[in-house]
Amino acid sequence: MDCSQDPVGRWQWPETDVMRGCIVIRYTAPWHMVFFSESLGIPSLRVLAQKLLELLFDYEIEKEPLLFHVFSNAGVMLYRYVLELLQNHRRFCHLRVVGTIFDSGPGDNNLVGALRALAAILEHRPAVLRLMLLLAFTLVAILFHVLLAPLTALFHTHFYDRLLDAASRWPELYLYSRADEVVMARDVERMVEARLAHQVLVRSVDFVSSAHVSHLRDYPTYYTSLCVNFMRSCVQC
């Protein structure tokens, strides 16, 4: 069963995937929260993460095994707060997470890659507005993550650093590419090494030539088999 959000925020449940045995909730975090709120150290994504987990109770599927499929750094930023809620919130601490798939992430501080991602999102906006937003993001990133980094670290931990030492111990699958110009392959590989050091069952696959979040498009059969086999192994365990 597939679930997607329409422009007014209602949740739609198409019948095309009913027989596949899975309930899929899709969510994309607002770009202004990803690029500006997080850069300013404002944890506005925490509220969205809580609403996302509350959907499980609204649809009475909170006892089902959960598998997260996280795309790019935007997804990782939201996932970071999901992890915190799973660990610290009384209502969510009993949810049964069986695994996480990371597609094209997570990546550490990479201003050029972030600008590429933001430029792609703003592609159809007026040129002047696009330029102003790119300049504003650049200034915020340099100010808070370079010049004032020691001060910012006192009240906000970067999502990449948070995931390096995350308390979660369920299996993780990392799908990335050395051709990715937004998230560097070395950042994903460093995360894999850190998670292995924490005794997490990890598998990683380098697609070598596919661009950022384009692995499924370029290698549909292989990508699908990796995800399905990982999901099955997680649920069986």
Per-residue pLDDT of 140-196, as tens digits, reads: 888 877 776 676 666 667 899 999 999 999 999 999 999 999 999 999 999 999 999
Q: Which residues of the chain have pLDDT under 70?
A: 1-20, 148-149, 151-156
Q: Which neighbouring-strand residues pair with 189? A: none
pLDDT at 68: 96
pTM: 0.86
Q: Find the CATH number of the domain harbouring 27.
A: 3.40.50
Report the domain count for the chain: 1
- CB proximity list for 209: less than 8 A, separation 6 or greater: 177, 179, 218
What's the CA gap between 51 and 82, in Å, rounded? Answer: 10
Tokens 């996480």 label which residue?
Answer: 100
- Structural domain including 207 reads 2-236
Question: Does residue 107 contact residue 177 with C-beta atoms inside 8 Å?
Answer: no
Dihedral, CA atoms, 214, 219, 222, 223, nearest 10 degrees? Answer: 10
Long-range CB pairs of 87-90 (<8 Å, 24+ gap) are: 87/167, 87/168, 89/50, 89/53
Angle between helices 72-88 and 111-121 (to 10 degrees): 100
Q: pLDDT value at position 95?
A: 96
